[in-house]
A and B are shown apart, each in its own frame.
Chain A
Amino acid sequence: MSTRLAKGGRLLDRSKPLNFTFNGTPLRGFQGDTLASALLGSGRTLLGRSFKYHRPRGLVASGVEEPNVLVNLGRNARLEPDQRATTTELFEGAEASSQNHWPSLDFDIGEINDKIGKLFPAGFYYKTFMAPKWAWKHLFEPVIRQAAGLGAAPKEADPDRYEQTYAFCDVLVAGGGVAGLAAALAEAKAGKRVMVMEQTAFWGGRAPVDGGIIDGLAPDEWVRNAIETLEKMENVQLFTRTMVSGLYNHGYVIGYQRVADHTPGDGRPRHRLWRIRAGLVITATGALERPLAFAGNDVPGVMLASAVRDYVVNWAVSPGDRVVIVTNNDDAYRTALAVLDAGLSVPVVIDARDSVTGALPMAVKARGVRVLEGRGIAKVLGRKAVTGVEICAQAGEGGVIETVACDCVAMSGGWSPVVHLFSHVGGKLIWDEAGAMFRPDATRPPIKADGTALARAVGAANGALTLDALCAEAGLAAQVEPEAPLAPVWVMPAGAKEALKFKAFLDYQNDVKVSDVQLAAREGYTSVEHTKRYTTLGMASDQGKLSNINGLAILSDALGQAIPQTGTTTFRPPYTPISFGAVAAEAKGEIFQPLRRTPMHGWHEAKGAHWEPVGLWRRPYCYPRAGESHRDAVNREITNTRTNVGLLDASTLGKIVVKGPDAGRFLDMLYTGMMSTLPVGKCRYGIMCNENGFLMDDGVVVRLSEDSWLCHTTSGGAEHIHAWMEDWLQCEWWDWKVYTANLTEQYAQVAVVGPKARMVLEKLGGMDVSKEALPFMSLAEGTLGGFPARVFRISFSGELSYEIAVPANMGLAFWEALNAAGAEFGAMPYGTEALHVMRAEKGFIMIGDETDGTVIPQDLNLGWAISKKKDDYLGKRAQARVEMARPDRWRLVGLETIDGTVLPDGVYAVAEGHNANGQRNTQGRVTSTYWSPTLKKGIAMGLVVNGPERMGEVLDFPGDGGVVHKVKIVDPCFYDKEGEKANV
């Protein structure tokens, strides 16, 4: 059983004990512990259950590659599932619990899955849940959802703070081991701006545990010197607890800093996401040790050899009293030495190689340890904890030669460079036969915008797995025991029978075994990407860390091809999971997106306006009074406007000035109508189409002077239309002399609407707004009630109406002056819904209601707004297409239910017969529908096949619940067809 050693622990501060709980049991660790080392040091080896078979699982690794021990951390709003115990620094009061079991970790009902595991082969989900069709939704999915998943999701909002920050550097070094620090020193001394990011809390990587001499110094000492030097340099920034999670195009890099995970509640943001533009990324991300695939390699107590020595050396934790080493390389012998140095026993080293002669094995032998050559593990004994191993010939089928009792197995299948970052944006890998590994191909790196290399791999991440190799690469002197070559071992023993392969795990987290990958190959999965998805090998948080090479090798063997022919799956960021909090950071709640406010916004808010979002604006939908429903308020606002006078904040209307000698010519191209002939001081309704001929925006155009026009756009359309204008001016007609300026926010605009509108303006005084001085569709400029104003005599409601623009900073004062002056005439503000109903009563179209990107002006009976005199305008050629002239196009009509009720929005008129899908044929649809308080009945507009030729026809519009609405086709103008109300 595991325990804390009395001495040692290079990362521990034994003077600072820390209390924590696991599954409710109080336990104790030290400052410097990870949750994993503290659990192991407390004698806990059974720490979780596997995903599919619910097999008992313990720690395999000591770092980011740990597949098994993912825990729930914290509680309530701070509950976070799937936290990796090996990368969670212990803190006082930490609360952790194991996942994926019921009712308890020790006794788990789900373990039955393991007993019937033969029923869950590769592709189980695909094979089982195909039929019958109904069963997925009603049977399989609910059952799987209940049983699947690891941790529990928190139900409350995250109370912690997260932030993002931006940075630029010449060189970003990912990884703070010897190779990374050496590279950082070289780059910094060359004057580069350098950022160094190390994912753990400590500098130095593996070297301090693995040993050797660097430039005459012990690794710890060399690392300390390097950090001291770097810290003094102004062009260097050092970050621990910061993982480079991904490389993206053109040198964009994400760094994930765990600022305060280890000091919760200290007021700092929990995580910080660094968004970096780097000139060069040096990937010094080290290497990960590979497991060996033997039966029972997942029993708690079977660990990576490097992890065993990490626990012993870094945290003074003994993973077991009797540690059997099983290996195909010399490096694992370092673990034997570390275990022996800690006073523990190594009963045997099982080496798959036929001849073992290296310096490290000799040193182990010299300590009296038995070293077996050409041997492997047939099977691990024990279920919830290792009790021993059965030893066999590696070349054989698993016949047991002897059984050795032990409580820990340290395995090493060699090492794989961490190539993830190098590969994220297209860096290529090469297969290194001698090292049996993929490593970065320096001749085919990921590239930047200028085509030069974005990334360079160094050290173990570049395949320089030994200290002497990486020091040689970095120009440092090294002394270290030489290592003999490894012998690739993908299955142990080589001829393992099905029963053994069935318990030999490749991917612990997803419960993928050697037998699963071989089955996939037999079933025809020849692509590694397909095999990954079919078997789930390397999915979830593993992402090719532990499982990758072993799985590829077994697939290659089953397919009878070399490993490089099989290739790797695609490495995708993030390297390890990052928090949603860091991704979202401050972009939540009120600052999720900007809010655009008109100058009168605060006034509307104070009056209790009910808001309608329009683009980024908020516009008052209506102003409900006490006891009034929204519908009541809308009806009141309409009736008051049509009877007395209403005030509308129209400031959101787009206002673009187009000016210059060629401005008229330009607007003639932009609008379907003729704008160049508009007299100064006059207004004209205009519509714009895209080159497909479809309607895209509309509004009133005003000629301000000989060479300048003011173009009103829809509220949501100002930016888009301004960009559209600029596109044509810059990219097509760049020799035309025209300027545009989007002045939307420079002016506040108010519509004063209704029979008493003129009286309100006359009360304000200062301008002649009579019918004679300011006729319909004209402009006057002057001073109104002391405000510099442009007064447009235009109407969107059919009433006598003025739209008045004043400088934005006077908007609120002007609005208040209008309300005050209007009080005696019954003036009331009205909102967007009243605006919409009144325009529908008049049969005016609304962009986005009557148009949907497939509607041409001719469909909306707007032929009158298309100039017949012009040779060209945007959309003209498209409108000449055969499709656009079809006689059976859907065209605008008014619609009235026979019983006067309001039609549901969006319903369709059915026609005779059915289409190929067995649905009723259709012949029209509703585009706008309202209750008209003016007409006291429902009114609607819609598009109907050849509609204007079918006045008086009654169509069927099926609604919900079998109701069929009988609807008559009528003229779309329901109110004051002669236009007398506006013309006063």
Chain B
Amino acid sequence: MLTFTCPYCGVVAEESELTGGGEAHLKRFGPGSSDAEFEAYLFTRKNPKGVHFERWRHAYGCGKWFLAARDTNTLEVFGTYPAQTTEPPADLIAAIKNKRPGWEGWK
């Protein structure tokens, strides 16, 4: 059972307090977008073995959505941050690069 620190309320939350929301930093494509863009938005997910940015909601706590960087292989959590951003914080990216020198970046 995983644990994440909720960046809003500071609680180290058990997985059973959370609901997962899949990949983070998706860009929404609405009316007017091409079929390819819309397909990518709806269905194409990264699914890496390694560093993954993902959405979690502290559903049975403060109710807030937050984002997390986690290694899908070792399950190490590099950090969590509020959802109101379009990209991961620079210091988190630096910390991940430090731990995973071969990492190709989040995009």
Contacts and interface: CB of A to CB of B under 8 A. Distances in A.
Given A449-B75, A450-B76, A734 B84 contact: yes
Would you call the interface of chain A mostly helix, strand, loop, or mixed? mixed
A949 interface: no
Contacts, number: 68
Interface residues of B, number: 30
Contact of A723 (B31, B55, B59): B59
Given A877-B30, A880-B31, A727 B1 contact: no
Contact of A727 (B31, B65, B77, B99): B65
B57 A249 contact: no
B53 interface: no
Given A730-B84, A731-B55, A872 B64 contact: no
Contacts of A250: 1-3, 75
B75 A447 contact: yes
Contacts of B89: none
Contacts of A734: 83-84
B33 interface: yes
A727 B19 CA distance: 11
Contact of B2 (A249, A692, A723, A731): A249
Contacts of B61: none
A interface, size bucket: 20 to 34
B72 to A, nearest CB: 12
A451 B99 contact: yes
B50 interface: no
A154 to B, nearest CB: 31
A449 B2 contact: yes
A726 B21 CA distance: 12
A523 interface: no
Nearest to A425: B75
A571 interface: no
B46 interface: no
Interface string B14-48: 10000101000000111111010010011000000
A287 B74 CA distance: 27
B74 A426 contact: yes
Interface string A689-726: 00110000000000000000000000000000001001
A691 B14 CA distance: 29
B4 A449 contact: yes
B30 A876 contact: yes
Interface string A440-478: 000000010111000000000000000000000000000
Given A691-B42, A723-B59, A731 B3 contact: no
Nearest to B1: A252
B31 A871 contact: yes
B9 to A, nearest CB: 14
Given A451-B74, A723-B57, A730-B83, A277 B3 contact: yes
Nearest to B66: A730
Contacts of B63: 726
Interface of B: 1-4, 14, 19, 21, 28-33, 35, 38, 41-42, 55, 57, 59, 63-65, 74-77, 83-84, 99
23 contacts: A248-B1, A249-B75, A250-B2, A250-B3, A252-B1, A447-B74, A449-B3, A691-B28, A691-B42, A692-B42, A723-B19, A730-B65, A730-B83, A730-B84, A731-B21, A734-B84, A872-B30, A876-B31, A877-B33, A877-B38, A878-B38, A878-B42, A881-B35
Given A249-B75, A447-B74, A727-B21, 19 more contacts: A249-B2, A250-B1, A251-B3, A277-B14, A451-B74, A726-B63, A726-B65, A727-B57, A730-B64, A730-B65, A730-B83, A732-B28, A871-B31, A872-B31, A876-B31, A877-B31, A877-B38, A880-B31, A881-B38
Nearest 4 pairs of A and B residues by beta carbon = A451-B76, A734-B84, A449-B77, A730-B65
